[in-house]
Amino acid sequence: MYDEHYTRLNQYRSLWILVFFDLPTETRKERKIASGFRKKLLDDGFSMFQFSIYMRFCASRENSEVHTKRIRNNLPEHGKIGVMQITDKQFGMMELFYGKKPVEPDKPSQQLELF
12 neighbors 78 (Cβ within 8 angstroms): no
Phi and psi angles of residue 44, each rounded to the nearest 5 degrees, phi first: -90, 10
Q: Please calculate the CA angle 37-81-66 and round it to the nearest 5 degrees.
A: 70
Q: Please calculate the CA angle 69-65-7 and round it to the nearest 5 degrees.
A: 160
Residue 43 counted as an annotated binding residue? no
What per-residue string of b and e applies to 63-86 under the rule 16 or more CB within 10 Å gives b?
A: bbeebbeebeeeeeeebebeeeee
Annotated binding site: 22
Annotated binding site for Mg(2+): 22
